Chain A
Amino acid sequence: MSQLSQPRMHLAESELIQRVCDGDQDAFYELLRPYERAIFVAARTVLYNDADAEEAAQEAVLKAFTHIGSFRGESKFSTWLIQITINESRMKLRKQHRHLYESVDEPRSDEEGDYWPKDFADWREIPSEALDRKELRQTLGKAMDSLAPKYRQVLILRDVQNLSVAETAKLLGISESNVRTRLLRARLQMRDALAPGIDGSWSRGREYEKVRPW
């Protein structure tokens, strides 16, 4: 019965999109409902706090609404939507941090030199049982936030959202080899930030900070 009481849930996306184009705004809410969480996560992938992510998400939704006529069905609707969200979020990030990120947020062919691990602490096991879940999440979040945007974005899309290398490349508008190179650096930096062990012996003032809790 519950399914029958919500017959519009079963409308195909293409039909909903057509109805939005014909001026039915309710169809738009219905079209986006399954993707609301994904929209937030996409914005938060680029932006460093919830308030900014919400703002960008709202802009993205407005843009999707006004430009839905330009959706041609060449990619999945969800991909189109997430791409808009990521673009809006990156624009917001650039506006906020123009002086900081102008040079690092743009794809460059010669961008990646080798990254050398700074820490060789042994880390065979994940001491997850010993950690408070909330503390662990905060620690991981802080470690991610210590990465430059271009590394953080790739890391979250690929390693947190588990998108493929190809999907990550498409969403960010960069090559797959760029994704791989950035992913390598992001992962090594995350490891350096999180690896356990007796520290204090290596240099300070790097571009990321150590946040290890264990």
Chain B
Amino acid sequence: MIVEISCVEVWREISNYLEGDIGPELRARIEAHLKVCKHCTAVHDGTRNVVRLMGDGVAFEFEVPKNFSKRLYRKLPTRPHEP
């Protein structure tokens, strides 16, 4: 017997749910809710996609500016030796 859960409660836990950072009972309640709630499924799928996209190391990364290393030590007393 799974106790029903509200949409608001699902949203509150969606991030922990994606992390797997959630107890089995709550997980079962969320999964039962997702089966029947289109809105929460959209929130879940979208949030999961966001996490996947950002963390795949391909879609997003910061590009280190050209010659960053050379400028990095400029505030130090003396400059680094050129390689």
Residues of A at the B interface (CB closer than 8 Å) are: 25-26, 28-29, 32-33, 36-37, 39-41, 44, 50, 54, 57-59, 61-62, 65, 114-117, 120-126, 128, 133, 136-137, 140-141, 155, 159-160, 162, 165, 180, 183-184, 187-188, 190-191, 194-195
Cα distance A65–B73 in the bound complex, in angstroms = 10
The residue of chain A having its C-beta at the shortest distance from the C-beta of B51 within the complex is: A159
Do A36 and B78 touch across chains, with their CB atoms under 8 A apart?
A: no
With A54-B68, A115-B11, A191-B43 already in contact, the answer to whether A44 and B62 are too (CB < 8 A) is: yes
Do A187 and B15 touch across chains, with their CB atoms under 8 A apart?
A: yes
Q: How many A-B Cβ pairs are below 8 Å? A: 131
With A180-B16, A191-B46, A191-B50 already in contact, the answer to whether A137 and B11 are too (CB < 8 A) is: no
Do B76 and A61 touch across chains, with their CB atoms under 8 A apart?
A: yes
User: In the complex, what's the smallest C-beta–C-beta distance from B18 to chain A, in angstroms?
Assistant: 8
Which bucket holds chain B's interface residue count?
Answer: 35 or more
User: In the complex, what's the smallest C-beta–C-beta distance from A96 to chain B, in angstroms?
Assistant: 19
Tell me which of B14, B52, B68 contacts A36 (CB under 8 A): B68
Jot down 11 A-B pairs with beta carbons below 8 A, ordered by A: A29-B80, A33-B69, A40-B62, A54-B65, A54-B71, A58-B71, A121-B42, A122-B38, A133-B58, A140-B59, A160-B60
What 1/0 flags go to B31-57 for Cβ under 8 Å of A?
000000011001101110111111100
